[in-house]
C-alpha cells in the first residue's frame, strides 16, 4: 500500500507540476509576444518620427559629401540597433510609383506582411510570425518621399533563469512528495496491518484480542475501524460465553427431566413405585421437555422469519387478565395483581400476544418473592404493559442483555423450571415482529420490571 500511495502522490505532484509549468510557459509566451510587438510598434513609430533627421540629405552637396552623409546615416542606424532591443532595422524608400523594395527587408519577412497599402495610408503595422515580431512605421519627409522603418526582434519568453529555478523546485517538490508518501504510508498502513493481524487472531479463536483503543477525539476511518474490530471481538467473546452457558443450561434442563423419567420407568419395571404416581411424574417431566423443545423451535422460526402473524384488533387489557389468571393457577405461592384502566385496543396476533404475556409473567414468577404486578395502560400512541416482581432485581450489567438470545442472568431463581434464556428472547422477537418495543429495568419496589409496548389504535 505504501508503494501505491507513493506512486499516486508522486503522480499527482508531477501532473500538477507539468500542468503548472505548461500553463506558466503558455502565459509567459503570450505575454512576451504581446509585449514585444507593442515595444516594436513604439520603437518603429519613434524612429519614423525622427527619420528626416537621419536620412534626409542636402541636394546641393557634392558626391563626396553625399557619401559621407550616407555613412553617417548608416552609423546612426547601427547605433540605434545597438542601444535598442532590436535584432534588425531597415529603412525602405518607396519608389515613385509607391512600391516598396523587397531586397532590403529584414530576414524572415515578406512585403505582403507589411501591408503596403495600409503603410501608404499612414498606419503603423505591428504583428508577429511565429517567434519573429516585427513593426513597420511610415514617415513622409518634407520632400514628400515615403520612408518605412521596419524593425524586428525574436520573441523570447524570458524564462531562462526562471525555468532553471522551476526545474529545481519541481525536483525538490517530487522528493518532498516521496518523503510525505513514505511517512503517510507508514502511518496509514500500520493500523491496517495491526487490524489485519488482529482479525486473523480473532478468526483463529483468540477472542480476547483487542486493538489499541484510539483517543475519544479521533473519529477518522481508521479510528472507527479499530473501534469496530474491538466491538466485534467483544461481541464474539460474549456470544461464546453465552453459548457455553446456554449449552450448560439446556443440558441441565434436559438431563433433569430425563433422569426423573428414566428413574420412574425403572421403578415401575421393578415394581417399587405406585404406577399411577410414577405416571404423573413422567407426565410432568415430559411437559417440561416438550416446552423446552417448543421454545427452541419457536426461537429458530422467529429468527429465520419463517413464521406468520394473523393480525386483528384485540383488547390488550383483557389479554393481561387472561394471562395472569392462567399463570396464577399454576403458581399458587405467588400473588398476581393485574391492573388495567379499561379497554386498550391494539392490532396484533392474539396467540402471539398471549405467548408474550405468558413468558413475561412466568419469568417474573420465577424470581418473585411473593407478588407480581401486571399493568396495562395507554401512553400516547402506545399501549404499554409492565410486569413487576418483588425479587432481587436485575444487575446493571445484565439489563442490556436480558432479551438477547441464549442469555441467562447471573442471579438465578431458586425455583425454576426453564431458565435457558429462550423465553425473553422469544418475547423480543415477537414484539418486534408486531411493530413494538421491549425494555428491561428496575421496579419501584426494587425488583425487576419487564415491559413491552405496541402501537395503540
> 58 — phi, psi (to 5°)?
-95, 120
Query: Which pLDDT does position 67 carry in this prediction?
Result: 47
The answer on pLDDT for 235 being more than 80 is: yes
- What lies within 8 Å, CB to CB, of 296 at 6+ separation is 250, 422
> 338 — phi, psi (to 5°)?
-80, 130
Q: Are 156 and 133 in contact (CB under 8 A)?
A: no
Q: Are 77 and 54 in contact (CB under 8 A)?
A: yes
Query: Which pLDDT does position 249 carry in this prediction?
Result: 67
Q: At what angle do helices 221-270 and 160-203 cross, to 10 degrees?
A: 10
Query: Which pLDDT does position 448 carry in this prediction?
Result: 93
The better pLDDT of the pair 407, 404 is held by 404
Domain 207-307 CATH assignment equals 1.10.3720.10:
no
Query: Which pLDDT does position 377 carry in this prediction?
Result: 94
The better pLDDT of the pair 358, 164 is held by 358
Query: Which pLDDT does position 412 carry in this prediction?
Result: 46
Determine whether 403 is exposed, middle or buried from the number of CB atoms within 10 Å of its CB (0-12, 13-18, 19+): buried
| % of the chain surpassing 90 pLDDT | 22
Distance of CA 380 to the CA centre of its chain: 38
The answer on pLDDT for 347 being more than 90 is: yes
The answer on pLDDT for 161 being more than 70 is: no
* Range in 109-113, 291-295, 325-329 the model is least confident about: 291-295
Distance of CA 211 to the CA centre of its chain: 22
Q: What is the pLDDT of residues 174-194, one digit of tens each?
A: 888 788 877 877 777 788 888
DSSP 400: G
| % of the chain surpassing 70 pLDDT | 83
Chain mean pLDDT for the chain? 81
Can you tell me the distance from the alpha carbon of 91 to that of 107, in angstroms, rounded to the nearest whole number?
Answer: 14
> 140 — phi, psi (to 5°)?
-115, 125
Can you tell me the distance from the alpha carbon of 170 to that of 16, in angstroms, rounded to the nearest whole number?
Answer: 10
The SS3 of residue 12 is helix
Query: Which pLDDT does position 157 carry in this prediction?
Result: 63
The better pLDDT of the pair 401, 358 is held by 358
CATH class of 308-455: alpha beta
Q: What is the pLDDT of residues 41-84, one digit of tens each?
A: 888 888 887 766 555 555 554 445 544 554 555 556 666 665 66
- What lies within 8 Å, CB to CB, of 246 at 6+ separation is 406, 408, 420, 421
HEC secondary structure over 209-275 = CCCCCCCCCCCCHHHHHHHHHHHHHHHHHHHHHHHHHHHHHHHHHHHHHHHHHHHHHHHHHHCCCCH
Can you tell me the distance from the alpha carbon of 337 to that of 371, in angstroms, rounded to the nearest whole number?
Answer: 8
Query: Which pLDDT does position 421 carry in this prediction?
Result: 59
Q: Are 89 and 109 in contact (CB under 8 A)?
A: no
β-sheet bridge partners, residue 152? 88, 134
- Please state which CATH number belongs to domain 2-160: 3.30.450.20
Cα–Cα distances (Å) from 183 to 180, 205, 212, 389, in that order, read 5, 34, 21, 61
Can you tell me the distance from the alpha carbon of 316 to that of 318, in angstroms, rounded to the nearest whole number?
Answer: 5
Query: Which pLDDT does position 455 carry in this prediction?
Result: 94
Reported pTM: 0.48
The better pLDDT of the pair 265, 383 is held by 383
Can you tell me the distance from the alpha carbon of 368 to that of 333, in angstroms, rounded to the nearest whole number?
Answer: 10
* Range in 233-247, 296-310, 318-332 the model is least confident about: 296-310
Query: Which pLDDT does position 357 carry in this prediction?
Result: 94
Place of cell 524564462: 159
Query: Which pLDDT does position 413 carry in this prediction?
Result: 42
Q: Are 137 and 124 in contact (CB under 8 A)?
A: yes
Q: What is the pLDDT of residues 241-254, one digit of tens each?
A: 777 767 776 776 67
Q: Where are the domains of the chain?
A: 2-160, 207-307, 308-455
Helix ranges (DSSP H) in 84-159? 111-114, 116-120
Helix ranges (DSSP H) in 84-155? 111-114, 116-120
- What lies within 8 Å, CB to CB, of 414 at 6+ separation is none
Mean pLDDT across 253-268:
83
* Range in 96-110, 114-128, 388-402 the model is least confident about: 96-110
Instruction: Spell out where 269-407 has E strands.
Output: 312-315, 335-340, 345-348, 371-379, 382-389
Amino acid at each position: 500500500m505504501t508503494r501505491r500511495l507513493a506512486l499516486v502522490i508522486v503522480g499527482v505532484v508531477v501532473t500538477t507540476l507539468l500542468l503548472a509549468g505548461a500553463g506558466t510557459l503558455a502565459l509567459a509566451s503570450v505575454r512576451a509576444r504581446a509585449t514585444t510587438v507593442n515595444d516594436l510598434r513604439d520603437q518603429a513609430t519613434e524612429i519614423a518620427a525622427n527619420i528626416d533627421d537621419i536620412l534626409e540629405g542636402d541636394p546641393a552637396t557634392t558626391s563626396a559629401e553625399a557619401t559621407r552623409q550616407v555613412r553617417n546615416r548608416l552609423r546612426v542606424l547601427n547605433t540605434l540597433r545597438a542601444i535598442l532591443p532590436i535584432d534588425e532595422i531597415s529603412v525602405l524608400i518607396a519608389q515613385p510609383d509607391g512600391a516598396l523594395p523587397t531586397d532590403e527587408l529584414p530576414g524572415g519577412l515578406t512585403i505582403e506582411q507589411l501591408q503596403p497599402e495600409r503603410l501608404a495610408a499612414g498606419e503603423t503595422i505591428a504583428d508577429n510570425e511565429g517567434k519573429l515580431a516585427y513593426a513597420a512605421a511610415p514617415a513622409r519627409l518634407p520632400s514628400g518621399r515615403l520612408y518605412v522603418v521596419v524593425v524586428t526582434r525574436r520573441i523570447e519568453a524570458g524564462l531562462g533563469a526562471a525555468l532553471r529555478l522551476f526545474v529545481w523546485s519541481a525536483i525538490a517538490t517530487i522528493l518532498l512528495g516521496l518523503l510525505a508518501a513514505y511517512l503517510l504510508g507508514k502511518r496509514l498502513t500500520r493500523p491496517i496491518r495491526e487490524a489485519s493481524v488482529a482479525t486473523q487472531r480473532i478468526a483463529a479463536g483468540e477472542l480476547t484480542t483487542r486493538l489499541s483503543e484510539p483517543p475519544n477525539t479521533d473519529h477518522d476511518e481508521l479510528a472507527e475501524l479499530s473501534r469496530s474490530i474491538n466491538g466485534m471481538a467483544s461481541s464474539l467473546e460474549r456470544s461464546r460465553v453465552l453459548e457455553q452457558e446456554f449449552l450448560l443450561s439446556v443440558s441441565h434442563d434436559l438431563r433433569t427431566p430425563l433422569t426423573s423419567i428414566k428413574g420412574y420407568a425403572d421403578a415401575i419395571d421393578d415394581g417399587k413405585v405406585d404406577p399411577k404416581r410414577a405416571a404423573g411424574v413422567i407426565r410432568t417431566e415430559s411437559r417440561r421437555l416438550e416446552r423446552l423443545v417448543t421454545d427452541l423451535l419457536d426461537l429458530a422460526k422467529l429468527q429465520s422469519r419463517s413464521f406468520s402473524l394473523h393480525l386483528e384488533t384485540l383488547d390488550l387489557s383483557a389479554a393481561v387478565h387472561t394471562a395472569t389468571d392462567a399463570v396464577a393457577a399454576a403458581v399458587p405461592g405467588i400473588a398476581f395483581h393485574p391492573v388495567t384502566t379499561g379497554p386498550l385496543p391494539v392490532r396484533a396476533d392474539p396467540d402471539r400476544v398471549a405467548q408474550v404475556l405468558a413468558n413475561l409473567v412466568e419469568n417474573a414468577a420465577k424470581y418473585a418473592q411473593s407478588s407480581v404486578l401486571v399493568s396495562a395502560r395507554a401512553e400516547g400512541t402506545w399501549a404499554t404493559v409492565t410486569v413487576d416482581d418483588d425479587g432481587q432485581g436485575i444487575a446493571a450489567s445484565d439489563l442490556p442483555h436480558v432479551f438477547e438470545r441464549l442469555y441467562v442472568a447471573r442471579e438465578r431463581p431458586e425455583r425454576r423450571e426453564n431458565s435457558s434464556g429462550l423465553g425473553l428472547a422469544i418475547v423480543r422477537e415477537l414484539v418486534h415482529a408486531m411493530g413494538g418495543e421491549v425494555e428491561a429495568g428496575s421496579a419501584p419496589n426494587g425488583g425487576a420490571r419487564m415491559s413491552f409496548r405496541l402501537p395503540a389504535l
